[in-house]
Amino acid sequence: MSTTFTLFPRLTRPKFQPIIRAQHTHTMKKPQIYLDHASTTPLDPKVLKAILPYFSEKYGNPESLHEKGKEALIAVDDARETIAKFLNCRSREVIFCGTATEANNLAIFGTARANKDKGNHLITTKIEHSSVTEPFKQLEKEGFKVTYLDVDNEGFVNPEDVARALTPKTTLVSIMYANNEIGTIEPIKKIGRILAQHKAYFHTDACQAVGVESLDTKALNLDMMTINGSKIYGPKGIAVLYIKRDTKIEPLIHGGMHEFNMRAGTHNTPAIVGFAKAFDLIQKNKKNAHITKLRDKLIEGLLSKIPRSHINGPKGKTISHRLPNNINITIKSINAQEAVLHLDDAGIFVSTGSACKMGTPSPSNTLKALGLPRPQTLSTLRITLGKTTTEKEIDYVIRTLPKIIENLRNT
């Protein structure tokens, strides 16, 4: 199938016209090239199959004593055990939550407030997801002191900076495992070794690291870890907070005695079953070598065809510490939101920075922390590949994106 490009007025969003739209000689249907997997992934068909009975005949509440309840309880317990096995922890240490946002809130508010008598100092970084940053900002209003660690120009936290920031009053350190915007994989194991000598709890938001890095909570010396379903071809609206036994933490949601008194509310059995299935699939069938090859081809293709562009995050010597599916590219003198809409017209779905920031003109904290000047933070695209991404799709993006950029720069 060959593809040509013409200028095409976009009627629904006149602000962005004229625009390039893909036209296909055989069908007029635009392609559907989804390259926004860091935002969310499609549901794996095997996960869908596993989930469906829990929406229909297996509808019981796991808390009920009768057969229908027991059937659901067994499913929830099995899911918990599957996840615990991969995290190298006890199943009672796996707490199901509604979202990773909730799990991060539980970890941060839960331990900071429960340990206030021991100290009011907390440590995090300048590149965390908003579901980590915002709880810390709230805790500052409650009288806590928060150290926001700098990162280097590729987004790496220096473990020695963590060691230097610790005080006798530090009760919690929260550092993400892999960054959702620039794909930097943080030295969590090294930081864990430092924190093993200190009483502060160690939490990591590992949402983007599942299927890529080890999640062995013991080897990493973690006290808490957040993971979610929507980034691993599982359902949206389901997450886990691993909480090490004997961690002093208070719940956020009060009500029934669900989740060992740590998170009240009826279990979302289909989502829990689907999460465990997705987790099992991604641990057993990693596609990272294939995705990495396509990522590197796309990086090379775009940099060679788009003047005044550069990659943010690990590259060169450090590229092995970059998520296999992540490309974050600054293309000077363009408006990234406009580029996203033009790409959408051509059937290519990408994002600007982090999905949660879509629509807000404020620059990404992560890009700011790298030292990018403001105009460049607003000229940056995030392209994230997935396990079904094909070389043909990558070739199409290499042909299409540079033309769109050229056009944008000339209008």
Binding residues for ligand PLP, total number by CB under 6 A: 14
Of 110, 106, 155, which Cα lies nearest the Cα of 128? 155
Here the tokens at position 41 are 């992934």
Residue 344 and residue 351: Cα distance in Å, rounded? 10
Nearest CB to ligand PLP, comparing residues 51 and 100: 100
| β pairing state of 19-24 and 145-149 | unpaired
Min dist CB 188 to ligand PLP, Å, is 13
Nearest CB to ligand PLP, comparing residues 22 and 220: 220
Q: Which stretch binds ligand PLP (CB under 6 A): 94-102, 154-162, 210-218, 289-297?
A: 94-102
Min dist CB 186 to ligand PLP, Å, is 11
Task: Enumerate residues 122-181 that contact ligand PLP by CB under 6 A.
Answer: 129, 131, 176, 180
Min dist CB 96 to ligand PLP, Å, is 12
Nearest CB to ligand PLP, comparing residues 208 and 400: 208
Residue 47 and residue 69: Cα distance in Å, rounded? 22
Cis peptide, bond prior to residue 18, ω within 30 of zero: yes
Q: Which stretch binds ligand PLP (CB under 6 A): 3-11, 86-94, 99-107, 324-332?
A: 99-107
Nearest CB to ligand PLP, comparing residues 16 and 156: 156
Given its phi and psi angles, is residue 364 left (phi above 0), alpha (psi -120 to 50 degrees) or beta?
A: beta
Nearest CB to ligand PLP, comparing residues 174 and 309: 174
Q: Which stretch binds ligand PLP (CB under 6 A): 26-34, 65-73, 97-105, 111-119?
A: 97-105
Min dist CB 356 to ligand PLP, Å, is 6
Q: Is 204 in the site for ligand PLP (CB under 6 A)?
A: no
Min dist CB 327 to ligand PLP, Å, is 16
Q: Which of 36, 71, 186, 205 binds ligand PLP (CB under 6 A)?
A: 205
Per DSSP, the residues of 168-195 read TTEEEEE--SB-TTT-BBP-HHHHHHHH
Helix ranges (H only) for 208-305 are 258-261, 269-284, 288-305
Of 44, 34, 86, which Cα lies nearest the Cα of 325? 34
Q: Beta partners for 403?
A: none
Residue 408 and residue 385: Cα distance in Å, rounded? 24
Q: Is 387 in the site for ligand PLP (CB under 6 A)?
A: no
Q: Which stretch binds ligand PLP (CB under 6 A): 68-76, 204-212, 245-253, 362-370?
A: 204-212
Do residues 333 and 379 lie in contact, with contact meaning Cβ atoms separated by under 8 Å? Answer: yes
Do residues 132 and 146 lie in contact, with contact meaning Cβ atoms separated by under 8 Å? Answer: no
DSSP-derived 3-state class of residue 365: helix
Q: What angle do CA 5, 11, 17 make, to 5 degrees?
A: 55
Q: Is 366 in the site for ligand PLP (CB under 6 A)?
A: no
Residues known to be catalytic: 356
Q: Which stretch binds ligand PLP (CB under 6 A): 98-106, 324-332, 361-369, 374-382?
A: 98-106
Here the tokens at position 234 are 């599982």
Q: Is 207 in the site for ligand PLP (CB under 6 A)?
A: yes
Instruction: Kindly list the residues in this chain that would bind ligand PLP in the complex (CB under 6 A).
Output: 99-101, 129, 131, 176, 180, 205, 207-208, 228, 230, 239, 355
